[in-house]
Amino acid sequence: MSSMTLPAVLGGRPVRNRPYPRPNFIGPSERALVAEVLDSGVLSDYVAHAGPHFNGGWFVHALEDEYCKRFGAAYAVSVNSATSGLHAAVAASLAGLGDEIIVPPYTMSATATAVVMTNATPVFADIRPDTFCLDPDDVRRKISPRTKAIIAVNLFGGPADLQTLRAIADEHRLVLIEDNAQAPGATIAGRSTGTFGDMAVFSLNCHKTVQCGEGGIVTTNNAVLADRLRLVRNHGEVVQSMRDHVPDEIAGLVGYNFRLTELQSAVALAQVRRLDELTDNRITMAATLTNRLRNIEGITPPYVGEGNKHVYYLYAFKIDAARFGLSRGQLRAALDAEGVAVAEGYVRPIYLYPMYERRVAARKRGLGAGIWYPGDGSPVRYERGICPTTEQMHFAELMTTNICRADLTDADARELCDAVEKIVEHRTDVRAALQGRGVS
Q: Collect all residues with Cβ–Cβ distance below 8 Å to 28 and sequence separation of at least 6.
A: none
- Checking DSSP bridges between strand 299-300 and strand 199-203, what pairing results, if any? unpaired
DSSP string, 93-151: TT--TT-EEEE-SSS-THHHHHHHTTT-EEEEPPB-TTT-SB-HHHHHHH--TTEEEEE
DSSP state, residue 417 = H
Is residue 3 within 8 Å of residue 12, measured between CB atoms? yes
**Distance separating alpha carbons of residues 349 and 391, to the nearest angstrom:** 7
**Distance separating alpha carbons of residues 261 and 59, to the nearest angstrom:** 8
- Picking from 244, 249, 286, 259, the residue whose alpha carbon sits closest to that of residue 409 is 286
Q: Collect all residues with Cβ–Cβ distance below 8 Å to 59 and sequence separation of at least 6.
A: 33, 37, 262, 265, 266, 269
Instruction: Centre a 10 Å sphere on the Cβ of residue 308 and count the other Cβ atoms it contains.
Output: 17
**Distance separating alpha carbons of residues 200 and 24, to the nearest angstrom:** 27
**Distance separating alpha carbons of residues 75 and 67, to the nearest angstrom:** 9
**Distance separating alpha carbons of residues 151 and 201, to the nearest angstrom:** 10
**Distance separating alpha carbons of residues 401 and 309, to the nearest angstrom:** 19
**Distance separating alpha carbons of residues 256 and 86, to the nearest angstrom:** 13
- Active site (annotated) includes residue 208: yes
Alpha carbon 309 to its chain centroid, in Å, reads 16
- The residue annotated as part of the active site, out of 142, 148, 208, 422, is 208
Q: Collect all residues with Cβ–Cβ distance below 8 Å to 73 and sequence separation of at least 6.
A: 67, 194, 195, 200, 219, 220, 221
- Picking from 407, 420, 436, 380, the residue whose alpha carbon sits closest to that of residue 116 is 380
Is residue 95 within 8 Å of residue 253, measured between CB atoms? no
Residue 77, phi then psi, degrees to nearest 5: -125, 115
Is residue 206 within 8 Å of residue 72, measured between CB atoms? no
* Residues belonging to the active site: 208
